[in-house]
Amino acid sequence: MLSSALITLLPLLASLPFTLGLDNNSARSASVYQVITDRFARPSSVSSTCNASDRKYCGGTYSALIEKLDYIKGMGFDTVWISPIVENIGGTTGLGEAYHGYWTLDADKTNDNFGTADDLKSLSTALHNKGMYLMVDVVVNHVAATSGGSFTPNADYGPFSSSDNYHKFCWIENYNNQTNVEQCWLGDDQVALVDLATDTDTVKNYWNNWVKELVSNYTLDSVRIDTVKHVQKDFFPNFVSSAGVFIQGEVLNGDASYVGAYQKDAQVNPFNYPAYYPLVRGFNQTSGDLTELVEMVSTIKSNFNDPTLLGNFLNNHDNPRFESTVTDLSLIKNAHAYPFVTDGIPYGYYGSEAGFTGGEDPANREPLWSSNYDTSSTMYQYFASLNSARKAAGNASDTFYTNQMTVSPLSSSSILIAKSPLISVLSNSGSSASDASVTVQSSASGWSGNTEVIDAISCETLTTDGSGNLAVTVKGGLPRVFIASSQKGSVCSGSSTNSSSGGSSNSNSGAMRLDGRGWIVGAVGAVLGGMMLAL
């Protein structure tokens, strides 16, 4: 017989929202940490040298990643993006081994270099038990081969063992010709990325069923899609619908009108490459022009259905690390701040917190264990502060994640980013610059007179004047990220790095997460277990 307490609890359990993974709404509040599975963490039993330039497997695994989740969560990231999980071509090619996961062989099998399917399921469970999300990278545009025009598929390619599954051989030669981009092949004779015929029903149906099963089998919360611009737009709506979770896609192009069409027509939320290029140019030197970045914000607003769903980043696995050419810590901090204080979803790339300086691929794919996972480093603490400020703003305002920012120049070397209740001043004056004074007008911040605000980075408190204007000193070119003290939550309290992501001011924190799949299972299970013991 059920106890009266359990009977009382059952209606509550039935009423709990139990959504599947991240959707557009909940994804806005996510903060994503990208890892290359092979390079993030490996078992202690593996001690061989790992040189990024060798382009070889270094032993990173899902199981070892599980052991380092608190390292990621300690910076305030709540979502982990891992490398593609499918079986890749084996052996050594002219471009090394397939350690990165992007050289698909058989999409029906998993890459056992990273662990077993059960290991991947354990990673998913471990993330969910910590109130975190799992994003998996997928490649639908191509498979890989060590030959170009002479490529002939065979049974090793699993579902794509027939030549009918591929576009006829041709290298991409004209990126201004979209048909050439979509139907010809990436790569070269060392590693050809053989273009799948994603315009055929056979290939479309396979991928739609595959992604649905992928999300279900591994309880995924989000999917990142590689090489989106190389697949025709009409492929994606059904694929996105089949996935049933939030989709972020790589459209590697800086033209806002070109990239924006993928959000409008393909229903894929792109990474913000249009902002990336002026961001790098604006902060990679003290003479950088921030006007281009300010103007791009307006261009993005007019070319995207929803800029608050774009993926913002400074570093990733495809582009040289910002730190490969910039050594000024103030410039580095300002550039890294931008993705966290603007419209969209911030992405951090592993190793940025460790001060890695790798340039072009493969140099930007260093092994993180060489840093000893130092949680006391300047940039580790900096990312924790940025995530804390962003989450405090989201908790303080139901509209923070959906309201679009305004960006305006404050001086020749600084810009104001107003995304209420977060107000940021970014500068490219550099660490050697003299202190500079700027004023944040109440018309931009929304602050009233005599409002106390706190800088989430320095923890300095300031007070607006009687009109709500704030006099700000930019010290040593460092960024300032302000929020009203009454709204700061755990900012500068010393506990911010352990806070859970909240979707809005009514979000729950800790283990009882109600905004995603499975977060509440452990807590409810413990309650039910205790009750059953009492029966």
- Active site members: 226, 250
Residue 366 labeled ligand binder: no
**Among candidate residues 233, 230, 332, the one with its CA nearest the CA of residue 286:** 332
Q: Are 473 and 437 in contact (CB under 8 A)?
A: yes
- Pairing, β 246-249 against β 222-225: parallel
Residue 254 labeled ligand binder: yes
CA pair distance 43, 45, nearest whole angstrom: 5
Residue 317 labeled ligand binder: no
* Amino acid making up residue 197: A
Residue 173 labeled ligand binder: no
Residue 336 labeled ligand binder: no
Residue 188 labeled ligand binder: no
Chain length of the chain? 535
How far CA 315 is from CA of 133, 279, 318, 350, in Å, comes to: 21, 11, 8, 9
Residue 103 labeled ligand binder: yes
Element (H, E) at 436: strand 436-440
Residue-wise burial string across 357-368, b where 16 or more C-beta atoms lie within 10 A, e elsewhere = bbeeebbbbbbb
Residue 390 labeled ligand binder: no
Q: Are 438 and 425 in contact (CB under 8 A)?
A: yes
* Tokens 């991947």 found at: 120
Residue 234 labeled ligand binder: no
CA geometry: angle 241, 311, 301, nearest 5 deg: 95
Residue 281 labeled ligand binder: no
CA pair distance 307, 172, nearest whole angstrom: 30
- For CA atoms 167, 170, 174, 177, the dihedral sign is negative
Q: Residues forming the annotated binding site?
A: 103, 141-142, 182, 195, 224, 226, 230, 250, 254, 318, 365
Q: Residues forming the annotated binding site for Ca(2+)?
A: 141, 182, 195, 226, 230, 250
Q: Residues forming the annotated binding site for substrate?
A: 103, 142, 224, 254, 318, 365
